[in-house]
Every structure is written in structure tokens, then in C-alpha cells.
Amino acid sequence: MKNVVKLQHYYFPWELEAAVRDFVAYYNHRRYHESLDNCTPADVYYGRHRRVLSERDKIKQLTMQRRKKEYRAANAA
């Protein structure tokens, strides 16, 4: 956090408070954590991580099927 927040100069306390609030929101709701199976802390806290991981697996399977089909079509010609 200090590497992000301390890079700026804040002239008023509310500017620093807003920067810290924005960083905490990013860290908890948008940044994926490798230790949490690349889910956000909010996903884990609210119990959404299993659904997120399941959806990623579905997308991965569909992508692999599509790539396999494209590879076969390219090599058949």
C-alpha cells in the first residue's frame, strides 16, 4: 500500500483518506490474490469463490474446445 499511496503528495487529510479508501477497495474487490486461488478477498469473504472458480473452469473448457477445433481445421487443409 505504501508503494502506491505514498507516491503522491497529499495536501489535505481528506485526499489521503480518499486514496487509502480507493486502495482498500481495489485490494479487496478487484485485485486477485494468488494465495486465494486468484480470487479477490471479497469473493472469499462472501462465499462466491467456488462459483467464480467454477465459472473459470467452464470458460477454460470452452476455450480449449474452440482452440482444438480451430487447430484441427487449420491442419486439415
pLDDT tens digit string along 10-37? 899 999 999 999 999 999 999 999 999 9
Q: What is the DSSP letter of 11?
A: S
* Mean pLDDT (whole number) for 43-57: 96
Which one is predicted more confidently, 2 or 68?
68
Q: In this predicted structure, what is the pLDDT of residue 39?
A: 96
20 neighbors 33 (Cβ within 8 angstroms) = no
| Confidence check: pLDDT of 4 > 80 | no
CA distances from residue 35 to 5, 39, 50 in whole angstroms, order as listed: 23, 8, 14
Please write the tens of the pLDDT for every residue from 59-77. 999 999 999 999 999 998 6
